[in-house]
Each structure stands twice: as structure tokens, then as C-alpha cells.
Amino acid sequence: MAEEWILDVLADLRAYAGEHDLPALAAHLDRVSRVAERELVLKAGECAIGAHEYDSGIRYRPDGSAG
């Protein structure tokens, strides 16, 4: 995966949040990291076997927050 650098960036952000007592941010970054990993795997699969739909499972509330 050529774009896996994003996983390293998210891990760094998660580490920063953990070290600076930002537990809600750390929890969100955990979820974002899992979504990013799944999407990158699926994107790599699209290149190999064709397009398909992917539902990240994230639903957005009217205020823009994920839930």
C-alpha cells in the first residue's frame, strides 16, 4: 500500500493524545485508524479485482460529529 504512511501519522497523533491527557481524542483516533486501515485494504483490493462498495460504519449526526 503506497498510502500506508497515513497510518503512521494517525499512530503519532494517537500517541500524542495519550501522552497529553486527551482520552476522547485518543479514542476517536483509534477508530479513525481502523477505518483508514480497512479503506486502504479495500482500495488495494479494488485495484486488483474491480470496484465494490464499502460502508465504513460511521454515521454522522446533524452537528457533524460521528457516532
Query: Cβ(31)–Cβ(56) under 8 Å?
Result: no
Full domain range(s) for residue 23 = 5-49
Q: What is the pLDDT of residues 15-52, one digit of tens each?
A: 999 999 999 999 999 999 999 999 999 888 876 654 44
The pLDDT assigned to 45 comes to 82
**Within a domain: 11:** yes
The residue with cell 480497512 is: 38
Number of domains within the chain: 1
CA distances from 14 to 11, 26, 45, 67 (A): 5, 5, 27, 19
- 13 falls within a domain: yes
pLDDT value at residue 4: 87
DSSP 31-57: HHHHHHHHHHHHHHHHHHH--------
Predicted local distance difference test score (pLDDT) of residue 8? 96
